[in-house]
Structure 1
Amino acid sequence: MKKTLTVALTSAMALSMFSSVAFGKSSSDYTDLSQLDTATKAKFDAMISAGIVDGMTETTFGLKSQMNRAQFAKVAALLLKLPVNSGLRVSSYTDVSTYDQANGYALPYIEALKTAGITEGTSEWTYSPAAQVTKQELAAFFIRILGKEAQAEAMTLTDGSVSNWAKGYVALATSLKLLPESVGAFEGQQPATRELLVTGAYETKQQYVPDKVSLIGAQAIGARSVKVWVNDTVDTKKATFMLSKGSMSVPVTATWSDDHKWATLVSASPLSEGDYTVEISGIDSSSVLRKDVNFRVQKEQVTELKFVNPSDTIANSASASIKVKALNQYGEVASVEASAFTATVAGAAPTDISKDEWGNLVIIANVKATNAAQLNDYIPVTVYLKNQNLNVSRSFKVGNAPILSVIEPNKLTYSNGKTRLLNVGESATITLNLYDQYGNPVTKKQWDNGEVTTKTLLPDINPNNPHLEVVKAGASLSASDLFDTNGIARLEVKLTAKPEQATTHQITIYSENAYATVSVDIN
């Protein structure tokens, strides 16, 4: 459908709001509605009293005025009962502002539509709130509310004034009397009036089937995650989702919001660029009006690079580490491989670029090999994303040799996959994060090359248990004892005999300047 009005707008309306809320206004308050017949006035009264529409001035409704995208946003958001943040003051579109006297009121409604994935802007950064909505776009809006897209696709229309994509929508909308039939050409690309918006929405309400579940919209909110909205609460214990790209199914896990109005679907791997469909199932099909919704996923892109070292000082080392976080368009750590990046440290290539378990880029550089690597001198570091005009630079001060200053337990795992040691021969492995005096990671190479000033690590078990043995121990652990083949520091303890009762042991790993404690359970 036309990009300026990508209405994944669906059957999701809770149109019961049309008739009950009184705002003190009626058609009699507007002079240009006075000549309407009684039946048409009743339609306007229903919409006005519900707060869905209001006049352009205190006394003028603007019956024949053209409807713009700002007006459409408000009506659509209220019809679909979307959550609207009325206090929102900042828009994701550059041309939508509260300072816009004519259309600024629509900012929270526009953002509600964007968040729900219901409508797009006229470009990535613009919404064009003053732009007009055409008659054929309005027809599509109403048909999608009723969930009759499939029926519209089967309709034909020979009217050349209607775009090809909209012919089925216009044919069905006029057949259902949501929009009036025209004598001659429908003129689908002409702007829709506020009168058509009000009367069409009212007629749509009359044909709406209440108390049925519909998907409102879907939107990618992360490289691996999709947010899906429903129009009403559903039985989340029964409801399931299927995500697909063409004929290919994409396995996902779903997590529902507390109010059961939306769910987040997460796939095991990043979603590739393309068109996707989300379908809801598992609930009574007779209670579902619209079971699927389409949306598009953009290719994951790195949009920002930033250094994440805790200070601007790095140790004077042949294996100094510098960390950079690469963020994608969703503000997440990008899943792009480390091979997509390059760097220079004091004008030279680094020793290595890899990724840590949190997805950060880790740049290992031989600072000692540079002419600037003197105490308190600064060296420039620049990181580039290959084939893109994106880079980040920062100058780091060269400090002293690394000193082991912080020991931080990371993960505790049991070889049996359980939560405690059960049998003789089973072991528990504690991975450790080691940091120097500047808050930067102590690497295996630094340890192995003897660069770490303090590297005595002693394990201590409390209470003392002759049946629990530290596998890798000693007054001064070697790199092969302390680090695994991936360069991750760890300590391993093994159960050599069954104790008389279940116990919990505190294992403390300490050096001259730091220590860490972790609990190991034995059955």
Structure 2
Amino acid sequence: MRRNESHMILKKKLSLPVIIALIFTMLASGNVYAADSAAPSTGTPTDASTANPAVPALDTQGKFNALKEKKIFEGTDDSGKEDFSQEVTRAQLAKVLVRLNGLDEDKAASAVYRDLGDAAWAAGFIGAATKAGLMEGVAEGTFAPAGIVTTEQLASVLARVFKLQAAESEVAKVTGTVSEWAKGYVAEAMSAGLMTSALDYTLPAKRELLVNTAYAAYQLIQAGGPPVTKVSVADFKATGAKTLVVKLNGVIADTSKLTVSILRGSITGAAVTGAQKWNTNKNEVTITLDTKMTEGIYTVKLDAVKDGGLSIDKGSAEVSVGNEKITQIDFTTPSDTIAQGMVKFTFKALNQYKEISDLSAAIFSIYTSPGLDFVPAGDSQSVVVDTVYGSQLRKDQPFEIRIVAPDYTVQANKTFTVGDLQTVGKVELSDVVYVNGKTKFEPGDTVTVPYKAFDQYGYAVIDLDVLKKNANTFTNAAGVIDTAAAYPPQGFGFIPDENGDGLPELKAKAVGNFNIYSVQDVQLSVTAFGSSQTATKVLKVAAPKTPFDISIGNFPNTVAVGDDDFYLPVVVKDQGGNLLSTDDVIENADKINVYGYGNGSISVGAKDAAGNFLGGIEKSGAYKGTIRISNLKTLTDQNKGQLTVKASVVTSGKTATATTNVVSKRYPRTVYLSAQMKPKMLPSLDMVNGRSENAFRLKFKDQYGEDFDRDYRGYAMKLTFAKTSGTVTDAVYVLRGATRLDRASSTFIVNGVDATVEGYDSGSSVSDFGYYRDRDFFFTAIPGDDNEGTYQVTAQLYKGDRTTVAAGTASLMSSAIATTQLIKGREANNLTYTLTPFANGIYAVDKIKDTLKGAETNTISTVSSSVTSSVYSTEGYSLENYFSGKVVLTAKDASGNVVQLPNNAIQSLASVTSANTRASAIVIKPKADGQTANFQDGYGIRGKEAGTTSISVIFKPSHYAGSKVAFLDKIDIKDDPLTVSSFTATYNGKAKVMALSQLKAGVTIFSGNSVDTAAKKLLLKQTFSNITLMDQYGNNAFKNSSIFRFAPVFGIQAFVSNVKWSSDNIVPGSGYIAIEFNGTGVNSLNGKTNAVTPVPAGVEPTDWVFASVPNADPAKDPAIQLKRGDAKYIYTPAISAVDGSPVEIASFTATVITANGKTISVDVYPDPSK
């Protein structure tokens, strides 16, 4: 359709092989990248495997210069002008083609044309091009030398030469003016990167285009040509005893999309294994087999990976090979004269592939004359001869060694002469090999120093006695090398072979501890007595894990009178600049002095559990390794001012300081909206389940602009409700817990209390700041479609108490206003409604239905009964609903403002329908923490089987508007295996202090702190706090207990590590600390369910399971129960090995992991005083 030959500038007599030869000559004659690059002597295309490496891209001028230097292009005048804007004529093209092809001008051959009068300068080029069949006339006797070459004609040449192909989708992308016959050619050239888009391809080609296109084509050739998608074996051959090379018909874009297999025998033969290595151009792969090939046929087989974009044409080939055969043996000895001693003679045996065979000397037949004692190597081509043993040889005596191939087809022999007694003439040292991948020499290490020792005739010295007697090992290592060691001698020397290679080892051994005053890099030296030559190598010595340098971390943004204690981090480094771990810092805490000055009322340094000052670095607890700053709570504003903290390293004298200003006590300065309400809302449908509730929150900042929740005494907040416009006064009211603001009760004054007092319960009193800070307020509309108006709550922060605020004598500090507009019910008709799409699809949960369903029955008969069920049989369906996609309906007005809908806008289960009941079902989606959602807030699409579905949702935004419908099409239901995309916890990676009493009580790992209101005491339970897991679908968040109910699905495991007790002297095996969870109806650790006990009505026997810690009375049930989804710390103290008393735990690390490697952890420090 598009291959109209009448439009081509090269006529039909120009064969494809000639075109290819032409272009390869044009684009590959020499290296056109740079002038100083070596150029091939001929125009033969460079093999891809030896192509010059790519260099930075050139601009058009650079490309022209490179081609000009090769005499391919030249300027348009005597000055060499580029004239990139000049159009390319047929005569000019003929000249370039002849130059590219390396032809001589042939003016006589141009005599066939009668129209060359004005192009006499080109007659010789036109004649040569015509004679070579590169070009021909446009008609008999007519060449048309002034004829212009168009852009699309140039594209057609490139497409034909490179056999380019373009998908129909690529052809469709070609825009601009282009002849129908040329559209495909242009698409192909553009897809291959040889040409860029243009507005009009029928226009004449300019010299600039020809230069850039030629250069791009050259680069493509260097890369092996354009990628092919239809793959064939072009060549298959053996290049070594274990090596096969497969060459493809072209380059492939991605080698991972093609499987290359080697078979012994024909295509049905057995597969053989080996390592594959692709060349840079990705058109040739070398396979090194695990074992040598044996005589017979080997077959290569190509297979395209499914959906990888490749197809196979000629997908197999055979090669016939023979057994490896030695064809040549050569001695590789350094001299014809050998020393009197143990001498290692080396040789190389080449096989039929001209590669050195890996056959060892032990396979060959070896003879000596006279007959001597020798040992052929089993791992190399060498033989060791003892020229001294038995006194068979004397100085100047000749002897012969003959080596014969295993099949006796070839041999090599050589005569040697005995010289002087062997000595060490030269030693070479290589880089030190440190222990276990280390990069430096550490206390107690023994390192290897690779070496080569040669005798006076150049042979390797392999005799330990000769090395010891004729080479001296020494160091400059004071305090580093263990000079008292016997092995190696004096800490550095030659020792017998340890790795089985038959050669003595050279090793160095470190002392047990380094001293910071003596640590330095060590020079290892070996002197050869035969030449007095010395070889040296530097041994990098690690600085000791002792403090040398110190720096102090940043203070908090603000330090104020009355603040809690805080801890400054320190960074400690050794002499080598390496960071010391926290444990290293603690071990060396006595070497670090800490003190503060500038404010004597503030305590700088560690304290014990009773609050007594100890000074220095904190040595225990969650903040060990830091500097404690305390007593701020006892200060008054008279104590404000500068505070400087200084830390110094005693042994090095290095110091660090950090300074801050202690400012006045914090007070609440600003009230602000921390969560915004929606600007508009509709009336409620009813006041039971159909309320329209519009939420906002309040928080406070101190005078320094930081969030505040401390001592509110002396301050109060006035909440005022008002209707600012509208016809119905009581259409909206505001609720915060038990506090209601409406027309009748339009104001409420909040009293200031000290929120820092131990045991303060922020949610217990409606008159306290804590009851309102960061908690939901709700604008609540009453039913009434004609109701409208604007309503607001003003929060005013005053300096003063409730009495002065009520009296109007308090000072106003700050105000925050929450405003919403109630719109009439009829306005629901003017809103836009959308359903939130499921961007990643919904999981087809039927795939794991059996896992979630669990055992059909759980029969428990004794305390020790063990049940191996999965999750709970009666809650399986409920668990499936966790994976449903929640239906979220959003309303917006014409300006894009989100409008609050009534809670039961989606009125009933029947209102949501699925177009594919096999793929999905309508359910109520539980909340992330496992609580049952309300109908109005919980509709979800549960995926059942893979496929697609659509939903329609009937909802009622107002009584006036009646029912409406929203649609969501093409929802993907996928059965891709579940993975965890995110796994987080509030205090992941942090250190937390918890009360030892709470640890013993068995609190959950996601507990928050609580308050004992009777004892006015804060109960420290918090470690991880809120744990949240999200799968890859993005619809399914699991929180706290919900995560452990799905432990089998996500591969959840929890464990405790890094356990430290308050005493190391404990009875082995005593003490217990673990995280146990009830994720399957069976304890995660002990595999037990609950015993037969009285169970409340409606409670399943598997609602809870036993922990591993028993009561003191073994007849009773375990003390701690794990309810569904519970994950608790289970603990008993250890026992002292001294007096049998309890030994409490000092610290541990709690970790939870998923099957795909997501991890959360927290370091826990139980406080025995809490």
SS at match of 2:327: strand
Structure 1 residues 235 and 409, CA, compared in 2 at 3 Å: closer, same or farther?
A: farther
Letter of the 1:276 counterpart: Y
Letter of the 1:384 counterpart: V
Structure 1 residues 458 and 251, CA, compared in 2 at 3 Å: closer, same or farther?
A: same
Letter of the 1:497 counterpart: N
CA offsets 1:1-46 (integer angstroms, 9 cap, x no match): xxxxxxxxxxxxxxxxxxx998xxx9xxxxxxxxxxxxxxx7x963
Alpha-carbon shift at residue 309 of structure 1 (Å): 0.7
Alpha-carbon shift at residue 256 of structure 1 (Å): 2.4
Is 2:513 the partner of 1:497? yes
**1:510 aligns to what?**
527
Letter of the 2:456 counterpart: Q
Asked whether the 8 Å contact 1:467–1:498 carries over to 2, the reply is no
Kindly report the root-mean-square deviation, in angstroms, between the aligned alpha carbons of the 2 structures: 4.2
CA offsets 1:346-398 (integer angstroms, 9 cap, x no match): 23154211155xx3222424356475x33333222212224413211111121
**2:15 aligns to what?**
46
Is 2:417 the partner of 1:397? yes
Is 2:234 the partner of 1:216? yes
**2:1058 aligns to what?**
none
Is 2:261 the partner of 1:292? no
**1:8 aligns to what?**
none
The within-5 A match list for 1:332-481 is: 332-355=355-378, 359-366=380-387, 369=390, 373-409=393-429, 412-416=432-436, 418-421=437-440, 424-444=443-463, 447-448=464-465, 454-461=469-476, 464=478, 466=480, 472-474=487-489, 480-481=495-496
Structure 1 residues 298 and 475, CA, compared in 2 at 3 Å: closer, same or farther?
A: same
CA offsets 1:140-163 (integer angstroms, 9 cap, x no match): xxxxxxxxxxxxxxxxxxxxxxxx
Asked whether the 8 Å contact 1:467–1:499 carries over to 2, the reply is no
SS at match of 1:413: coil
Does 1 or 2 have the higher relative contact order (CA < 8 Å, sep 6+)? Answer: 1
Structure 1 residues 396 and 281, CA, compared in 2 at 3 Å: closer, same or farther?
A: same
Letter of the 2:345 counterpart: I
CA distance in 2, matches of 1:428, 1:281: 49
Of the candidates 273, 278, 291, which is equivalent to residue 295 of structure 2?
A: 273
Structure 1 residues 332 and 498, CA, compared in 2 at 3 Å: closer, same or farther?
A: farther
**1:230 aligns to what?**
248
Letter of the 1:510 counterpart: T
Structure 1 residues 413 and 236, CA, compared in 2 at 3 Å: closer, same or farther?
A: farther
**1:314 aligns to what?**
338
CA distance in 2, matches of 1:233, 1:468: 60
SS at match of 2:323: coil
Asked whether the 8 Å contact 1:218–1:226 carries over to 2, the reply is yes
Structure 1 residues 210 and 312, CA, compared in 2 at 3 Å: closer, same or farther?
A: closer
Alpha-carbon shift at residue 468 of structure 1 (Å): 7.0
Aligned identity (percent) is 19
CA distance in 1, matches of 2:445, 2:427: 25
Alpha-carbon shift at residue 434 of structure 1 (Å): 1.7
Letter of the 2:428 counterpart: E
SS at match of 1:323: strand
CA distance in 1, matches of 2:502, 2:9: 65
Asked whether the 8 Å contact 1:215–1:290 carries over to 2, the reply is yes
Alpha-carbon shift at residue 504 of structure 1 (Å): 5.3
Is 2:277 the partner of 1:255? yes
Alpha-carbon shift at residue 500 of structure 1 (Å): 6.4
CA distance in 2, matches of 1:401, 1:300: 40
CA distance in 1, matches of 2:504, 2:351: 30
CA offsets 1:302-332 (integer angstroms, 9 cap, x no match): 1111111111111123x33322222222222
SS at match of 1:238: helix
CA distance in 2, matches of 1:314, 1:475: 32
CA distance in 2, matches of 1:331, 1:21: 50
Of the candidates 302, 305, 310, which is equivalent to residue 326 of structure 2?
A: 302
Asked whether the 8 Å contact 1:457–1:475 carries over to 2, the reply is no
Structure 1 residues 473 and 49, CA, compared in 2 at 3 Å: closer, same or farther?
A: closer
Alpha-carbon shift at residue 493 of structure 1 (Å): 2.8
Aligned length: 327
Asked whether the 8 Å contact 1:254–1:265 carries over to 2, the reply is yes
Structure 1 residues 499 and 343, CA, compared in 2 at 3 Å: closer, same or farther?
A: same
SS at match of 1:339: helix
Instruction: List structure 1 runs of 4+ shifted beyond 6 angstroms.
Output: 81-85, 467-471, 475-479, 498-503
Asked whether the 8 Å contact 1:421–1:428 carries over to 2, the reply is no
The within-5 A match list for 1:132-151 is: none
Which runs of 5 or more structure 1 residues have no equivalent in the other structure?
1-19, 27-41, 53-77, 86-208
CA offsets 1:404-454 (integer angstroms, 9 cap, x no match): 1122235743331x142486544322232221010111123xx44xx6795
CA distance in 1, matches of 2:333, 2:363: 21
Alpha-carbon shift at residue 49 of structure 1 (Å): 3.8
Asked whether the 8 Å contact 1:436–1:442 carries over to 2, the reply is yes
CA offsets 1:449-494 (integer angstroms, 9 cap, x no match): xx679523313156x5527777744379997557765422222234
**1:60 aligns to what?**
none
CA distance in 1, matches of 2:49, 2:378: 40
CA distance in 2, matches of 1:381, 1:291: 51
CA distance in 1, matches of 2:327, 2:263: 27
Asked whether the 8 Å contact 1:471–1:493 carries over to 2, the reply is no
Structure 1 residues 286 and 477, CA, compared in 2 at 3 Å: closer, same or farther?
A: closer
Letter of the 1:332 counterpart: E
SS at match of 1:234: coil
Asked whether the 8 Å contact 1:505–1:520 carries over to 2, the reply is yes
Structure 1 residues 324 and 48, CA, compared in 2 at 3 Å: closer, same or farther?
A: closer
Alpha-carbon shift at residue 498 of structure 1 (Å): 6.3
CA distance in 2, matches of 1:322, 1:478: 26
Letter of the 1:217 counterpart: D
Structure 1 residues 349 and 401, CA, compared in 2 at 3 Å: closer, same or farther?
A: closer
CA distance in 2, matches of 1:21, 1:429: 72
Alpha-carbon shift at residue 230 of structure 1 (Å): 1.4
Asked whether the 8 Å contact 2:366–2:401 carries over to 1, the reply is yes
Whose strand fraction is larger, Structure 1's or Structure 2's? 2
Letter of the 1:401 counterpart: L
Asked whether the 8 Å contact 2:494–2:505 carries over to 1, the reply is no
CA distance in 1, matches of 2:449, 2:336: 30
Structure 1 residues 303 and 461, CA, compared in 2 at 3 Å: closer, same or farther?
A: farther
CA distance in 1, matches of 2:388, 2:509: 39
Asked whether the 8 Å contact 2:523–2:539 carries over to 1, the reply is yes
SS at match of 2:349: strand
SS at match of 1:290: coil
The within-5 A match list for 1:39-118 is: 46=15, 49-50=18-19
Of the candidates 331, 344, 353, which is equivalent to residue 354 of structure 2?
A: 331
Which runs of 5 or more structure 2 residues have no equivalent in the other structure?
1-7, 22-43, 51-226, 543-1170
CA distance in 1, matches of 2:321, 2:9: 39
Letter of the 2:15 counterpart: A
CA offsets 1:206-249 (integer angstroms, 9 cap, x no match): xxx97522221222212222222112112355255333325543
Structure 1 residues 241 and 342, CA, compared in 2 at 3 Å: closer, same or farther?
A: same
Structure 1 residues 360 and 49, CA, compared in 2 at 3 Å: closer, same or farther?
A: same
